[in-house]
Amino acid sequence: MMDNSPFARLSPELRNMIWKLAVTQNRPISLDCYENPEPPITRVCEQIRQESIGLFYGGNIFLESLGNAQYFANEELRASYEAIGPERYGLIRQFEIWTDNVSETQITERYVIKTETEEVLDGRRLFGVPVSKECFRGPQVIRITAHHSMPKAFTSEWVRGSDNYYRRVEDSQSIWVQERIKAIQEGIKKDRDEEDIEDSIGYASSVDYVGSYCDNGGFDSDDESALALA
């Protein structure tokens, strides 16, 4: 039992950090209605499952890669939705759909509805599930990308609201864009920090070299040539 293990005596915050490292990955997880996407560690015992399952679905990007327009959504999406279950699907933070030969107009005609003030995407239509709006559980963010759409490829991103409808966001507000900008900025900062460390090491080496000169009464001819090159 986990209750009696040293791991159980760690703080919840530390355990969450460990679970996140254990159940998340850098690349999207492809969904298949015939295979359970959950890592085996989430099924070891009930307590481990309770602590890790939310981090698995909330910390990864999930991907459904679909074919042509006639297969888009309902059949494959409904199959994976029913296989995983609405409760766990509702834990997914980022969900991507890749498809071919689907125009933006087709997406709008099939899955977007008009209210009195705006156009919203109905997740029930997208996943083909016959439930009420209040009972629907879907990913927090849905991103649809048509790679070979005619006349041009497009990407649309939708965020679920408190009413369970999805609203389209502009690229500047995109969660993916913001996270990538943050990653780039962190990468630049890391590179600069590494350059500063290298400069500091180089400076320290120069100081040590000059110090050696002072201690030994001067450079010989080879030392002077090396210092000039430095």
Query: Rounded to two decimals, what is the model's pTM?
Result: 0.67
How confident is the model at residue 219, as a pLDDT?
45
Lowest mean pLDDT among 16-20, 93-97, 115-119, 162-166: 115-119
pLDDT confidence band for 226 (50 / 70 / 90): very low
pLDDT at residue 78 is higher than 50:
yes
Banded pLDDT at 61 (limits 50, 70, 90): very high
Q: Where are the chain's structural domains?
A: 2-169, 181-229
Mean pLDDT for the stretch of residues 83-92: 90
Give residue 156's pLDDT band: very low, low, confident or very high (50, 70, 90).
confident
Mean of pLDDT values over 147-161: 73
**One-letter amino acid for residue 78 of the chain:** R
Name residue 211's amino acid.
Answer: G
